[in-house]
Amino acid sequence: MIDIERYKNINFCIVCGGVLVIKKDKENKNRPICESCGWIFYKNHIPAVACVVLDEINNKVLLVKRKYEPQIGFWALPSGYMEIWQTPEEAAIDELREETGLIGVVDSFIGYYSGYSPIYERVLSLGFRMKIIGGVLEAGDDALEAVFYDIEKMPEIAFWSHQDFLKKSGIMVKETIKMI
């Protein structure tokens, strides 16, 4: 039953258009397999990136207020899903620029977080510490606001993964009730 629920909207092959049927694959796992050409649908984590930008002189961290669901109106790190042609580092640089107007480079890898997504079921988030090298701070893309927030007065953070990356960067955050 779990497999049927997990694949309930996966019906047709993207290669030949044939009907997908849930059955055991060569690894003995239930997956949608095309009856016509044998193509197998694998449901995997969707990769995403998140950027931690610190202003250590003024004790602030860069946050964006979310413009769209999930978690509309909540504060988050500049972040987004990786495009198929991007490396994780390229995605982090692009998301930072798109959401904040700032140009940055990757300073270091913070870590990863595997968690729930209301859109894609599971997301594998990669956190990066970023260094700003240019640009002008202004909200863009899917951000209502982009600001350097006082670390001592941190708001609730929208996502567990972002909380994790902030904690791994030495920043304590409020636990929030409505969080994914």
145 is catalytic: yes
Task: With H, G, I as helix, E, B as strand and everything else as coil, classify residue 168.
Answer: helix
CA–CA distance, 155 with 117 (Å, rounded to integer):
21
Cα 24 to Cα 14, 20, 51, 99, distances in angstroms: 19, 12, 39, 43
Q: Cα 49 from chain centroid? A: 5
Catalytic residue among 89, 90, 98, 145: 145
Alpha-carbon gap, residue 121 to 7, rounded angstroms: 11
Catalytic residues, by residue number, are 145
